[in-house]
Structure 1
Amino acid sequence: MIDFSADKGPKLRLDEGSVMDIGACVVGGVDLSPAKAVPDDGDARISHSVEGFLFTCGPDHIRHPEPMAPEFGGRKYPLHGSLSANPAKVLWTRFEDGNAECRADVDVVGAEGRPFRLERLWRIDGKTGEVHLMDRVVNTSKVPVPVFLMYHMNIGGKWFDDGVRLTGAMLDGGGFPWNFGEEPGGLFCVPSPATEGKWAEVSLGPIKVADGKTLRVRFSAETLPFLQVWRNQRTPVHVLGIEPVSHRGVLRAELEAAGEFNILQPGESRNYALSFAFL
Structure 2
Amino acid sequence: MSGFRSSGKTNRGCAMKLYGREWSRRELEARVGRIEQIAGIRRWVAAEGREAGVEQLHVRTGAGLSYWVTPTKGLDIAMADYCGVPISWQSCNGDVHPRYYEAQGDGWLRTASGGLLMTCGMMQVGSACEDEGEPLGLHGRAHHTPARQVTAASNWDGEEMEMRITGIVEEASLFGGYLRLTRRISSFLGQNSIRIEDEVRNMGFRRCPHMMLYHFNFGFPLMDENTAIRFPAANVRAREPQTPVDGYDTWQVPDPDYQERVYLHAGVTDPAVRIVNRNFPLPDGGRQVEAVLRWSADTLPNLLQWKMPGAGMHVLGIEPANCGVAGRAMERKRGTLVFLEPGETVNYRLELNLA
Q: Distance in 2 between matches of 1:85 and 1:214?
A: 30
Cross-structure match for 1:21 = 76
Q: Distance in 2 between matches of 1:226 and 1:170?
A: 13
2:89 corresponds to which letter in structure 1?
P
CA contact (8 A) 1:8 1:129 kept: yes
Q: Distance in 1 between matches of 2:82 and 2:174?
A: 37
CA contact (8 A) 1:6 1:99 kept: no
1:56 paired with 2:108, answer no
Cross-structure match for 1:88 = 147
Question: TM-score, normalising length from structure 1?
Answer: 0.85
Q: Distance in 2 between matches of 1:162 and 1:101?
A: 35
Say which one has the larger Rg: 2
Cross-structure match for 1:237 = 313
CA contact (8 A) 1:82 1:109 kept: no
1:10 paired with 2:10, answer no
Which of the residues 232, 243, 251 maps onto 1:169? 232
CA contact (8 A) 2:126 2:139 kept: yes
CA contact (8 A) 1:53 1:155 kept: yes
Q: Distance in 2 between matches of 1:177 and 1:38?
A: 27
2:261 corresponds to which letter in structure 1?
G
1:194 paired with 2:194, answer no
Structure-2 change in CA distance of 1:227 and 1:110 (3 Å): farther
CA contact (8 A) 2:86 2:222 kept: no
Structure-2 change in CA distance of 1:265 and 1:89 (3 Å): same
2:85 corresponds to which letter in structure 1?
V
Q: List aligned pairs for 1:256-271, cutoff 5 A.
A: 256-271=332-347
CA contact (8 A) 1:118 1:136 kept: yes
Cross-structure match for 2:275 = 204
Structure-2 change in CA distance of 1:89 and 1:278 (3 Å): same
Cross-structure match for 2:300 = 224
2:125 corresponds to which letter in structure 1?
I
The superposition leaves residues 95-123 of structure 1 with CA deviations (integer Å, 9 ceiling, x where unpaired) of 12332111111122269832211100001
SS of the equivalent of 1:84 reads helix
- Of 14-23 and 163-172, more deviation after overlay is shown by 163-172
Q: Distance in 2 between matches of 1:110 and 1:34?
A: 32
CA contact (8 A) 1:148 1:247 kept: yes
Structure-2 change in CA distance of 1:112 and 1:274 (3 Å): farther
| TM-align CA RMSD | 3.0
- Structure 2: unaligned runs, 5 residues or longer: 1-55, 95-101, 237-245
CA contact (8 A) 1:224 1:246 kept: yes
Which of the residues 317, 321, 324 maps onto 1:248? 324
Question: TM-score, normalising length from structure 2?
Answer: 0.68
Structure-2 change in CA distance of 1:193 and 1:234 (3 Å): closer
Cross-structure match for 1:36 = 91
Structure-2 change in CA distance of 1:77 and 1:24 (3 Å): same
CA contact (8 A) 1:6 1:95 kept: no
1:80 corresponds to which letter in structure 2?
H
- Of 22-31 and 93-102, more deviation after overlay is shown by 93-102
1:208 corresponds to which letter in structure 2?
F
1:145 paired with 2:208, answer yes
1:274 paired with 2:350, answer yes
How many residues are paired up? 270
SS of the equivalent of 1:244 reads strand
Q: Distance in 2 between matches of 1:192 and 1:100?
A: 34
Structure-2 change in CA distance of 1:139 and 1:254 (3 Å): same
1:117 paired with 2:171, answer no
CA contact (8 A) 1:5 1:12 kept: yes
Q: % of aligned pairs identical?
A: 22
Q: Distance in 1 between matches of 2:175 and 2:294?
A: 32
SS of the equivalent of 2:122 reads coil
Structure-2 change in CA distance of 1:34 and 1:95 (3 Å): same
1:106 paired with 2:169, answer yes
SS of the equivalent of 1:223 reads coil
CA contact (8 A) 2:177 2:204 kept: yes
Q: Distance in 1 between matches of 2:230 and 2:194?
A: 20
Q: Distance in 1 between matches of 2:153 and 2:269?
A: 31
